[in-house]
Amino acid sequence: MKRFLKLSFLVFISVVLLGSSHVNAGHLKISSSTKTIYVKQRIQMKVNPLIPKGSIKWKTTNRKIATVSQSGVVTGKKVGKAKIYAISTDNGKRKASYTIRVKEFKKRSLPVKSKMVPLYDDGGKYFGIGSVKKYRVLDSKKAVGDYLKSVRKTQNYDGWKKELKKYKKSFFQKKSLCIVYITAGSSSMSVKVKKVQVLQNKKGKIMGSVYANIGEQSPDVMWAGDVKSYYAILEMDKKDASIIQTYKVVKK
């Protein structure tokens, strides 16, 4: 009797586990960095949970508006809306959809709200005058807190704290912050950002161009022994923060 009860219990558990696995496996979700792209722009879409390569077939409801490759890369073709589908090749009922809006791109400028100041020592590495080393998007108050934790040990932490703490929770309902790092040679060189423009290159990539005045050293000025990075904090709409794919510095 005990053996029968034990066997029945094991069968019950197996059925429950198999059932749970089936339910979880049946739900697919498409994730993307944005719901709006521009004509010629490309974005990568992903499926959650992760599916082995070749197990998903991608489709679009309107190839004139947006196309999608079998690796999930969506390309904007014409202004309008298109629905993108990810369909399991094993089970056609397992699928997910994502609506993409395609718009015509318009060049525009972003407000620069902070002064460029030395951030930290790069350990003597030289990245080239006016190059962007990296950038970081902060889209919530929590993201600001996490960022402050990550820079707590840097020499300019107090400056970061003072600069970022003034942004309230209400700011992030429609806006995002983008921190752009620029390497400008030695710490004795002056740097000042004049403007930032959002541009689209010939390949369709959306870029943020940082126009900066970077001072030149005269021959009689000795180079500093270290290399300093500089930063600018940009305030932008969330839609701009989500579509900018890279930054570059234009020396003025």
In whole angstroms, give the CA distance from residue 94 to residue 55: 11
Angle at 231 between CA 126 and CA 199, to 5 degrees: 95
What is the structure's pLDDT at 74?
96
Residue extents of the structural domains in the chain: 27-103, 108-251
Q: What's the pLDDT score for residue 188?
A: 59
Q: Beta strand 206-214 with 246-251: parallel, antiparallel or unpaired?
A: parallel
Higher per-residue pLDDT: 1 or 38: 38
Low-confidence winner among 126-130, 162-166, 228-232, 245-249 (lowest mean pLDDT): 126-130
CATH fold of 27-103: Immunoglobulin-like (2.60.40)
d(CA 179, CA 154): 16
**pLDDT (0 to 100) of residue 228:** 64
Q: Which of 6-20, 105-119, 146-160, 189-203 has the lowest mean pLDDT?
A: 6-20
Cα–Cα distance between 251 and 234 in angstroms, integer? 18
Task: Give residue-wise pLDDT tens across range 222-243.
Answer: 555 555 667 778 888 887 787 7
Residue type, 68: V
Mean pLDDT score across all residues of the chain: 77
Distance (Å) of CA 58 to CA 7, 76, 87:
44, 15, 6
pLDDT grade for 145, boundaries at 50, 70 and 90: very high
- Per-residue pLDDT for 133 more than 80? no
Residues whose CB is less than 8 angstroms from the CB of residue 126 and which lie 6 or more positions away in sequence, other chains included: 183, 185, 227
CB 228 within 8 A of CB 122: yes
pLDDT tens digits for 74-123?
A: 999 999 999 999 998 888 788 899 999 999 998 888 777 655 555 554 44
Which of these ranges, 11-25, 150-164, 167-181, 194-208, has the smallest mean pLDDT?
Answer: 11-25
The arithmetic mean of pLDDT across residues 47-63, rounded, is: 84
Q: What is the pLDDT of residue 92?
A: 76
Q: Give me the sheet containing 227-237, strands edge to edge.
A: 117-121, 227-237, 175-186, 131-138
Which pLDDT does position 11 carry in this prediction? 44
pLDDT at 112: 72
